[in-house]
């Protein structure tokens, strides 16, 4: 019986980890002036192991991978070793857009110019 429970626990841990790999990283998206700001929480990843791809159709894909230390007897393992997140952005990205990204303290921030957006000065 103990062996069955141990195997069931392992399967639940694997499913939980797989679930987190699909829903992470959590994301916030908002407009700031003529810029779309995308913020993704990615604690524990190295900048070198994060890749970002953005298409002109506004599809953002973020991939990350890391080594998760596993020493001793494993009881719970929910931290994902890899994540992939595809997000359809609410804007069209200019073909020659100068997108900037910054990864600091486990947070990835992307700034994407909004095509056709212009700041209006009101007098």
Distance CA 32, CA 21 (A): 29
Are the CB atoms for 39 and 100 separated by under 8 Å? no
Q: Tokens 């913020």 correspond to what residue?
A: 39
Catalogue all structural domains in the chain, each as residue range(s) with its CATH number.
2-113 (2.60.40.790)
Give residue-wise pLDDT tens across range 45-93.
999 999 999 987 889 999 999 887 777 777 766 677 888 889 999 888 8
The helix (H) or strand (E) run that includes residue 104 is strand 100-104
Q: Which residues contact 114 (CB under 8 A, 6 or more apart)?
A: 31, 34, 35, 36, 91
pTM: 0.73
For residue 49, what pLDDT is reported?
94
**What is the secondary structure of 39-63 as a DSSP string?**
EEE-TT--GGGEEEEE-TTSEEEEE
Quick one: pLDDT at residue 24? 66
Tokens 């359809």 belong to residue: 88
As a whole number of angstroms, the distance between CA 83 and CA 77 comes to 15
């Amino acid at each position: 019986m103990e062996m069955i429970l141990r195997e069931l626990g392992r399967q639940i841990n694997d499913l939980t980890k797989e679930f987190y790999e699909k829903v992470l990283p959590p994301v916030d998206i908002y407009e700031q002036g003529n810029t779309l700001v995308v913020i993704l929480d990615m604690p524990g990843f190295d900048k070198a192991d994060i890749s970002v791809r953005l298409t002109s159709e506004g599809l953002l894909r973020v991939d990350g991978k890391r080594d998760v230390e596993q020493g001793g007897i494993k009881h719970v393992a929910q931290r994902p070793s890899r994540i992939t997140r595809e997000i359809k952005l609410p804007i069209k990205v200019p073909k020659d857009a100068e997108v900037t990204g910054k990864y600091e303290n486990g947070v990835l921030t992307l700034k994407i110019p909004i095509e056709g957006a212009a700041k209006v000065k009101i007098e």
